[in-house]
């Protein structure tokens, strides 16, 4: 399911989270030393886990050489374990602004889309292994992210 501007899906910050590429990669790669930590964080009792098309694309590209990982990644979306958030033109303008603001970190396109998705859905918890980035990023109201694990 894609969450679009006209969607009737309502979210609350307490039981929802954002999923970053770094942790999705560790979940999909059983040989990654962070696999178990990533899997436990992902399998926590979340109401919904959200990612963006940019995060999905980045993840799919990164796992292209791992047999079965791309299929498993898509299964997360197809089976509803991960919900995709649609960003429209004004939100993409916000993405562009964030990438400029955090160019010294640097902020990837995928990371910027997650920040905007968090703003859109009022979600401040992000599952990521990229603490440097998400510890620095701030949402439009200057709130910080709760970075897990």
Predicted confidence band at 49 (pLDDT cuts at 50, 70, 90)? very high
Predicted confidence band at 100 (pLDDT cuts at 50, 70, 90)? very high
User: φ and ψ at 45, to 5 degrees?
Assistant: -75, 65
pTM exceeding the 0.75 threshold for the entire prediction: yes
Flag whether pLDDT at 132 surpasses 80.
yes
Q: Which of 53, 72, 51 shows the shortest CA–CA distance to 63?
A: 72
pLDDT for the residue 12: 44
pLDDT for the residue 11: 41
101 token code pair: 């603001």
Flag whether pLDDT at 58 surpasses 90.
yes
The percent of residues above 90 in pLDDT, for the chain, comes to 88
Flag whether pLDDT at 140 surpasses 90.
yes
Q: What is the mean pLDDT of the chain?
A: 91
Q: Which of 24, 147, 22, 140 shows the shortest CA–CA distance to 74?
A: 24
The percent of residues above 70 in pLDDT, for the chain, comes to 91
Flag whether pLDDT at 25 surpasses 50.
yes
* Average pLDDT value for residue range 99-105: 96
pLDDT for the residue 5: 40
Q: 142-149 long-range CB contacts below 8 Å, 24 or more apart?
A: 145/118, 148/17, 148/41, 149/23, 149/37, 149/38, 149/40, 149/41
Q: Which of 89, 97, 143 shows the shortest CA–CA distance to 118?
A: 143
Which 8-state DSSP code applies to residue 73? H
Domains and CATH numbers, the chain: 2-148 (3.40.50.1010)
**Sequence-ordered list of residues with C-beta below 8 angstroms from that of 4, at least 6 positions apart, any chain:** 86
Length of the chain: 149
């Amino acid at each position: 399911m894609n969450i679009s501007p006209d969607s009737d899906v309502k979210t609350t910050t307490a039981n929802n989270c954002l999923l970053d590429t770094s942790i999705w990669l560790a979940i999909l790669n059983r040989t990654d030393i962070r696999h178990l930590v990533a899997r436990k964080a992902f399998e926590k009792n979340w109401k919904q886990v959200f990612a963006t098309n940019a995060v999905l694309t980045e993840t799919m590209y990164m796992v292209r050489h791992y047999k079965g990982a791309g299929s498993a990644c898509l299964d997360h979306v197809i089976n509803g374990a991960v919900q995709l958030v649609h960003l429209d033109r004004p939100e993409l303008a916000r993405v562009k602004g964030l990438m400029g603001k955090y160019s010294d970190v640097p902020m990837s396109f995928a990371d910027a889309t997650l920040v905007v998705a968090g703003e859109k859905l009022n979600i401040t918890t992000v599952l990521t292994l990229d603490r440097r980035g998400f510890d620095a990023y701030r949402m439009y109201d200057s709130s910080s992210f709760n970075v897990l694990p």
